[in-house]
């Protein structure tokens, strides 16, 4: 018989704390679809995704019903589309994105990732085609998510790729002006991009992965927040190490649940199980916020001195609990701080307590970077390039993933409110303390060499 206290703890997570599985993402290798004929290429891509992912949503629904746990998002991540675009034109790249979009709709997933390129050292013609098509491709599709890897700790930072990406972000914002720049919400620029990430917009099936694989993202931050609340209710004077311990235990349970669901889905689909991504991914709902956890820990005003330390505490405790829970941990595995998707972070930006620079500091100790941040429409490509370079530098130097997903909102100014609705959330436009002044540095292009791995101070 199960111990009563264990039953109660788990039941509370299921019934009262919204324990769920945030995403089940099916990775599919599309390289077999390569063709010199654009029509043959896009037809093959669409057919392959539909064939391989047809059972994903019904299977997830069955497993969710069996366990009484919601699987919030079912998604597909494909191998980097840039590989398929060697020898093709930007027009074909847009057609390819549309084929991905149509296939995603047919298999009833809300987002599909992998319109991606790894360009940390150099850019092939196919990768250039993909990058140069980003604005058009993301505007012409609803479900397609794109990602670029512009730097790694081993390779350094490809500034030429950063420049291309920054110009595409500006172009994508303008191309989706009617949607207030929404196309940019589906594009993330990474350093040290993981190849098994199940979360959008950066989900992709990397080169070292299997033909198909199921990766899962664990439950959202609400469960952790309530665990912290409960401990503080019992012991208002709990110390930070006691809080870290509580978070660690909760992360253990959450991770085990995610792996259980992921493995069962994988088994039913006849697909290898990949990883559990420990990331706490918030949604705009109250009670599903990473920012609320920092507040529960005692950082009443997000952005106040101490916020970065709170991020580190949370991130570390989640990783420790998760790493003990499963030997299949991967992906991004850290606390996300997507400003628009987290009502507490968004409110802090509105209140002016949380600045872009503080967010940047927070990304030094958590995943995944400057995420879902609204910028003024008049921001230059060079300023965006500088933001990407700064963020990538943090990742490259600290041997961790960092990313930039920013949305310049055409016609908008600092303080203007933008609402994308749904999971993408709402927020106000913010900007760096200094908008200009590094253009010459960014425009130099070239490559920032990989950092030295000794003399670590």
Partner 1 sequence: MSVSCRYVVAVLVPDRVGLLRDVTAGVAELGGNIAGIRQTVVDGFFSLVFTSVHPPGTTADALRRQLAIRLDADTSIVVRECPNQPPPPLPDGTRYVVVTRGPDRPGTIHAISAFFVEHGINIEDWQVATEGADVLYTAQVTLPAVVAFQPLQTAFRARMAARGLAATICHENIFRATTEVGPIKGLLRR
Rule CB under 8 A: say whether 433 interacts with partner 1: no
Rule CB under 8 A: say whether 234 interacts with partner 1: no
Q: Which runs of consecutive H residues, i.e. helices, occur in 208-269?
A: 222-234, 240-269
Rule CB under 8 A: say whether 13 interacts with partner 1: yes
Residues 323-362 that bind partner 1 (CB under 8 A): 324, 326-327
**Minimum separation from the CB atom of position 62 to partner 1 (A):** 10
Which of 358, 376, 357 minimizes the C-alpha distance to 291? 358
Q: Per-residue x/- marks for partner 1, 188-217, CB under 8 A?
A: ------------------------------
Which of 5, 63, 122, 417 minimizes the C-alpha distance to 257? 63
Query: Would you state the structure tokens that stand for residue 351, as one six-digit string?
Result: 């209140």
Among 14, 140, 238, 393, binds partner 1 (CB under 8 A): 14
Query: Would you state the structure tokens that stand for residue 133, as one six-digit string?
Result: 């098509």
Among 267, 316, 390, 416, binds partner 1 (CB under 8 A): 267
Rule CB under 8 A: say whether 4 interacts with partner 1: yes
188 sits in the region (left: phi over 0; alpha: psi -120 to 50; else beta) called: beta
Collapsing DSSP to helix, strand or coil, 307 comes out as: helix
**Residue 252 and residue 58: Cα distance in Å, rounded?**
28
Among 20, 195, 259, 292, binds partner 1 (CB under 8 A): 259
**Residue 436 and residue 167: Cα distance in Å, rounded?**
16
Identify the helix (H) or strand (E) that includes residue 162.
Answer: helix 159-175
**Minimum separation from the CB atom of position 16 to partner 1 (A):** 11
- Smaller CB distance to partner 1: residue 231 or 368? 231
Angle at 132 between CA 131 and CA 133, to 5 degrees: 90
Rule CB under 8 A: say whether 98 interacts with partner 1: no
Among 37, 39, 51, 66, binds partner 1 (CB under 8 A): 66
- Smaller CB distance to partner 1: residue 55 or 62? 62
**Minimum separation from the CB atom of position 273 to partner 1 (A):** 9
Rule CB under 8 A: say whether 10 interacts with partner 1: yes
Rule CB under 8 A: say whether 277 interacts with partner 1: no
**Residue 420 and residue 281: Cα distance in Å, rounded?**
17
Cis peptide before 201 (omega within 30 of 0): yes
Rule CB under 8 A: say whether 270 interacts with partner 1: no
- Smaller CB distance to partner 1: residue 259 or 341? 259
Which of 190, 2, 239, 245 minimizes the C-alpha distance to 80? 190
Rule CB under 8 A: say whether 15 interacts with partner 1: yes
Local structure of residue 110 (DSSP, 8 states): S
Backbone angles phi, psi at 41, to 5 degrees: -60, -55
- Smaller CB distance to partner 1: residue 54 or 324? 324
In the chain the first and final C-alpha atoms are separated, in Å, by 53
Among 32, 40, 47, 65, binds partner 1 (CB under 8 A): 65
Among 256, 343, 358, 400, binds partner 1 (CB under 8 A): 256
Among 176, 192, 257, 402, binds partner 1 (CB under 8 A): 257
Local structure of residue 78 (DSSP, 8 states): E
Rule CB under 8 A: say whether 253 interacts with partner 1: yes
Interface residue list for partner 1 (CB under 8 A): 1-4, 6-11, 13-15, 65-69, 252-253, 256-257, 259-260, 263-264, 267, 324, 326-327
């Amino acid at each position: 018989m199960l111990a009563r206290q264990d039953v109660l703890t788990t039941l509370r997570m299921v019934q009262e704390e919204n324990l769920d599985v945030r995403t089940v993402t099916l990775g599919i290798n599309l390289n077999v679809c390569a063709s010199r004929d654009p029509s043959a290429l896009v037809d093959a891509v669409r057919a392959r995704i539909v064939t391989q992912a047809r059972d994903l949503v019904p299977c997830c629904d069955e497993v969710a019903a069996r366990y009484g746990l919601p699987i919030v998002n079912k998604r597909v991540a494909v191998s980097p589309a840039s590989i398929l675009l060697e020898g093709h034109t930007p027009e074909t790249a847009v057609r390819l994105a549309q084929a991905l979009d149509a296939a995603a709709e047919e298999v009833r997933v809300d987002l599909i990732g992998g319109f991606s390129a790894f360009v940390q050292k150099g850019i092939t013609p196919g990768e250039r085609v993909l990058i140069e098509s980003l604005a058009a491709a993301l505007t012409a599709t609803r479900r397609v998510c794109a990602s670029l890897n512009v730097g790694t700790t081993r390779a350094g930072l490809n500034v030429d790729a950063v420049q291309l990406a920054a110009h595409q972000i500006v172009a994508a914002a303008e191309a989706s002006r009617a949607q207030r720049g929404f196309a940019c919400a589906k594009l993330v620029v990474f350093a040290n991009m993981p190849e098994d990430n199940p979360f959008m917009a950066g989900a992709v099936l990397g080169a070292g992965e299997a033909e198909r694989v199921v990766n899962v993202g664990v439950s959202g931050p609400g469960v952790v927040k309530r665990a912290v609340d409960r401990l503080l209710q019992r012991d208002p004077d709990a110390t930070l190490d006691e809080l870290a311990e509580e978070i660690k235990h909760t992360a253990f349970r959450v991770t085990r649940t995610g792996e259980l669901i992921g493995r069962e889905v994988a088994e039913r689909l006849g697909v290898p199980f990949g990883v559990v991504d420990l990331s706490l991914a918030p949604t705009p709902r109250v009670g599903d916020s990473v920012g609320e956890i920092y507040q529960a820990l005692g950082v009443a005003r997000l952005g106040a001195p101490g916020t970065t330390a709170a991020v580190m505490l949370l991130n570390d405790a989640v990783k420790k609990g998760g790493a003990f829970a499963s030997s299949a941990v991967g992906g991004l595995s850290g606390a996300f701080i997507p400003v628009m998707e987290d009502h507490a972070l968004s409110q802090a930006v509105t209140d002016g307590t949380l600045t872009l620079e503080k967010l940047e500091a927070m990304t030094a100790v958590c995943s995944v970077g400057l995420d879902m941040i609204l910028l003024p429409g008049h921001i230059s490509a060079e300023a965006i390039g500088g933001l990407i370079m700064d963020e990538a530098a943090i990742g490259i130097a600290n041997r961790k993933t960092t990313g930039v997903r920013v949305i310049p909102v055409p016609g908008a100014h600092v303080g203007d409110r933008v609402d994308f609705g749904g999971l993408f959330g709402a927020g106000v436009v913010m900007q760096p303390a200094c908008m200009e002044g590094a253009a010459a540095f960014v425009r130099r292009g070239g490559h920032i060499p990989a950092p030295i791995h000794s003399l670590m101070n």
